[in-house]
């Protein structure tokens, strides 16, 4: 998936970390505190060194990625 080059399997610091700097893990207290809607918004618009994905992914792919991130945190989407 589009996220793995940076976030690896969720543990962060994937292969692009050498180029763009530290990449946070997707299972963390910070991410666990985010709602599904907030995660979807972050994926769409990006933040800092994370590029926006609104044009790279379909709405369904963004929903599914956000649901995956929630599950990585042991939460239901
Ligand atoms: C080009 C590298 C890159 C890609 C591709 C990328 N991310 Fe990120 N992501 C980052 C970086 C860097 C940050 C930290 C941004 C910051 O410092 O504000 C981040 C932050 C996040 C956060 C917030 C983490 C936190 O601790 O606040 C989430 C959630 C996230 N990404 C999910 C995703 C998902 C899901 C995808 C795929 C759809 C994705 N990212 C694709 C680089 C990337």
CA of residue 69 to ligand 1 center, whole Å:
11
Interval between CA 59 and ligand 1 midpoint (Å): 17
Residue 48 burial (CB < 10 Å; 0-12/13-18/19+)? exposed
Superfamily of domain 4-72: Cytochrome c-like domain (1.10.760.10)
Q: Which residues line ligand 1 (CB under 6 A)?
A: 2-3, 5-7, 16, 20, 23-24, 26, 28, 30-31, 39, 42-43, 47-51, 53, 65, 69
Question: The pTM is what?
Answer: 0.96
- Please check the confidence at residue 42 and state whether its pLDDT lies above 80: yes
Q: Is the pLDDT of residue 1 over 80?
A: no
Cα torsion 35, 36, 37, 42 to 10°: value is: 90
Q: Per residue in 47-58, pLDDT tens?
A: 999 999 999 999
Fill in the DSSP letter of residue 27: S
pLDDT of 16 higher than 90: yes
CA-closest candidate to residue 51, choices 59, 63, 39, 43: 43
């Amino acid at each position: 998936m589009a996220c793995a080059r940076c976030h690896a399997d969720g543990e962060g610091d994937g292969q692009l970390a050498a180029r763009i700097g530290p990449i946070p893990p997707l299972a963390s207290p910070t991410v666990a505190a985010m709602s599904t809607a907030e995660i979807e918004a972050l994926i769409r618009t990006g933040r800092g060194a994370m590029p926006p994905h609104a044009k790279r992914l379909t709405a369904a792919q963004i929903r599914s990625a956000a649901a995956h991130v929630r599950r990585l945190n042991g939460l239901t989407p």
